[in-house]
Structure 1
C-alpha cells in the first residue's frame, strides 16, 4: 500500500513540476490522457502503469486549473474587497491580502494605518502584475510563483485605502487574542528578548530587527522563530518527554491536543496547519517507534496538500523544507540513535539531538540551492541551544498568558524566560560574529541538488533498520 502511495505522490509531483515550467494548454493535457489510455491497453503491468499515468496527468491538470487569472480586475481604478488573512506588518508598510470579486490582490499599505482580519476596505490605485526580482546573492526570486500559491497575481502598491466596515469573526477573535498575548510579552520581557519570545511561541519574528534576524540565519537557527514542521516536532517531543510517566497512547493524544489548540491560537493559517500536520507526524513517528506508519501518513498528507494547492511544490519554501525535514526526521533518527548512546535519555535529550542532526543534514541541499550559503556553525549552535528551547517556550507562554491578567505574577515567569532567551541570543551573536560562520555557494544547477538527495537516500537504504 505504501509503495502505491509513494509512487502516486512522486508521479503527481512530477506532473505538477512539469506544468510549473511548461504550459502547452488543454490540448496537451487531452493528448497526454489519450496516449496514456492507449499505452495502458498494451502494457503488462497495468495497475502500476495506470497509477503513474493518472497521477502524472492529474498533476498537470491540477496545476493548470490552479493558476490565478488576474484578468477580472483590470477595468477599474476603484476596488472594494475584504481582508482575508492576518495583516502582515513589515516595518514601514503592511501587506494586505484583499479578496475582490473572487480575485485576491496583494495591497501594500502604509504601516501607520491599522487593519484587522475581515475588514471591508475600498482602495484606489494602480494594479500591477507581480514581477520577479533579484534577491540576496544575485539569485532571482520567483515572486510571481511565490504569490501565486496564495492565489495572487496582482499587486496594488500604496493606493488610497480606507476601511468601510469591520466584521467580527472567530478567526478575527483568535488573532486579537494573539495580539493581546504578544503585548503581554512586550510588557513583561525586555527587548530584544521579547521579540525572540514572540518568535519561538507564535512565529512572530518580524520585530527581531534586521541585524538579529541575519545573525539567526548565519547560525542556522532561524527555524526556531518561524512556525515550521521541525518546530512543531520539537514541541511534541518535549511534551512527550514531560509526560513520560503516561502510556504512549495517552502521551500521543495529549501532544496532538496541545498542537491543535496551539494551531488555533496562532490563527490556523495554511502555513501553520501544514507545519502542524507534518511536525506532529514526524515527532510521533519517532517517539512511539512507528516510523513506517508515520512515513505512510506523511506521504498521504503531502499528497492531499498538493491536491489542494499544487503551487506548494515548487513555489513554497516552507512546504519544501517542512516535508524534507520531517522525512529526514523519520528515516534518519532511528539510524543515528544507536550512535548517541553516550547521551542521557532524560528529557528526550538523545532524541532531540538526533532530530537536530538529521533535520540539519536533510535540509542542507535545499538551503544551498535557495540561499546560496551554508552555515558552518549551524550544527553546534543547534545542539547547544535546542535542548532549552522547549523550556523557554513554556516560560514565555506562561508569561504571556498570566500577564494578560496579572503583571506582577507574570514577572516570575518573565525572569526565568528572559534568562533562557538571553542565553540563546548570546550564543547566536557570538557564533554569528565569527568570520567563517557561513560559506557562500555559487549558484548551481538543481541537478546537483537531486544528486545530493540521491546520495542521502542511498546512505539511508544502506544503514536503516527494518521498520
Structure 2
C-alpha cells in the first residue's frame, strides 16, 4: 500500500511540473508569425521541447549547423496540448558535444569504409544508434517490421558497453575498478550516442545500479526505472510528450516484469508498447513478434564484432553474415501483404485503460507466479 502511495505522489509531482511548464509557455495562434531556432542533426532541426522539423533533402545544410526558421502557423501540430499551440523560447538543443560528435562521425566513416551501403549503415546504427546512413527503403522495411528500435541507441546498448568495461574490471578482481569502469563506460557511451531520451533513461538507471553496488546493495530495477523517469521529467517536463521517452520506459517496464524466456520478453515488450504506437502512429505491425524473434539474437554479435572491428578491422567482416541476414529478414517480412496495418489512432483514455488492465493482470496473476518459487 505504501509503495502505491509513493508512486501516486511521484506521478502527481511530475504532472504538476508539466502543467506548470505548459502554462508558462508562449502561446501562439493560427496565423501568427514565429521564429524557431535549432541545430541540425540527422537531417532534422532539433528543438528544445523534444520535437523536430524535417528538412528538404535539397537544402544544403549539414549536421551541427545552427538555423532559424521564420514562418506563420498555418495548421495545428500533431501533439498539441488541449486546444492550444505553444512556442518554446528560442533555445538551442544539441545532443552532442563537439569532441564526441567528431569522434562519432569518424567511427561511422570507419565502419562504412569497410562495410559499404546498408551493411555499414546498419552496423553503425546498432552500435552508435541512428538510421541516417540507411537507404530509405531499408528504413521503411524496419519500420513496417517493428524493428526500428534495433537501430536506435537504447538501454541495451548502454548495458552492453558498461558491461564490457565492468567485465575487464572484474577480471582483475578489483571491485571498485569494476564499478568505476562501468560508470565511465556508461557516461562515455551516453555522450557518444547522443543524449536522447532513451539513452539518458538507460544511463541514469545504469548509474543508479553501479552506485548501489558501491554501497553493497542491489538496486530494484522497477524502482530505478520509476525514479529515473521522475528525475528526467522534473528536470525537463517535455519528456512526457517525447515519443522516444514513452516507448523507452514502456519497453523497459515490459522487460522488467517478464520472466527470463526470450519469447516471453518479446511478448511483454509488444504488449507494453502497442498502445503508445497506436496512439502516436495509428499503425500496427503484425509481423513484429516474428521479426524480432528472428533477428534480435544477432544484435549482440553485430554490436560486439563492430566494436572490436573498429580496433582490428578484419573482425569487422565477421559481422557481415549477421548484417546480411538481418537485412534479408527485414526486406522479406516487409513484403507480406498485411505486414503493417493502419488501424487509426488510439485515444489517451484507451491507452490508460490498456495499462490499467495490464497492471491488474500482472498484480493478480503474473507477479504471484514469479514470487511463489522464492517463498518456498
User: Among residues 169, 172, 191, which one is paired with 1:264 in the alignment?
Assistant: 191
Match of 1:300 in 2: 227
Task: Kindly indicate whether residue 289 of structure 2 is the aligned counterpart of residue 379 of structure 1.
Answer: yes
SS of 1:434's equivalent? coil
Shift in CA distance, 174/153, structure 1 to aligned 2, threshold 3 Å: closer
Shift in CA distance, 61/267, structure 1 to aligned 2, threshold 3 Å: closer
SS of 2:117's equivalent? coil
Task: Compute the RMSD of aligned alpha carbons.
Answer: 4.2
Structure label with greater radius of gyration: 1
Shift in CA distance, 448/75, structure 1 to aligned 2, threshold 3 Å: closer
SS of 1:11's equivalent? helix
Match of 1:212 in 2: 138
Q: Give 1:228 deviation, angstroms.
A: 3.0
Match of 2:70 in 1: 126
Match of 2:345 in 1: 443
TM-score (norm 1): 0.63
Q: Contact 1:228–1:318 at 8 Å: present in 2 too? A: no
Distance 2:275 2:153 in 1: 21
Q: Give 1:261 deviation, angstroms.
A: 1.9
Distance 1:324 1:130 in 2: 33
TM-score (norm 2): 0.76
Matches within 5 A, 1:47-58: 56=16, 58=17
Distance 1:238 1:362 in 2: 29
Matches within 5 A, 1:63-82: 63-65=22-24, 67-68=25-26
SS of 2:60's equivalent? coil
Task: Kindly indicate whether residue 143 of structure 2 is the aligned counterpart of residue 142 of structure 1.
Answer: no
Match of 2:41 in 1: 88
Residue correspondences, number: 353
Q: Give 1:393 deviation, angstroms.
A: 0.9
- The runs of 5 or more residues in structure 1 that have no matched partner are 17-55, 99-103, 134-140, 156-169, 341-351, 403-408
Distance 2:348 2:201 in 1: 25
Q: Give 1:203 deviation, angstroms.
A: 1.5
Distance 2:172 2:290 in 1: 32
Matches within 5 A, 1:337-376: 337=260, 340=261, 354-376=264-286
Match of 1:190 in 2: 116
User: Among residues 304, 310, 315, which one is paired with 1:413 in the alignment?
Assistant: 315
SS of 1:116's equivalent? coil
Distance 1:456 1:248 in 2: 42
Match of 2:200 in 1: 273
Q: Deviations over 1:184-208 (max 9, x none)?
A: 1111102111111121112220232
SS of 2:361's equivalent? helix
Match of 1:425 in 2: 327
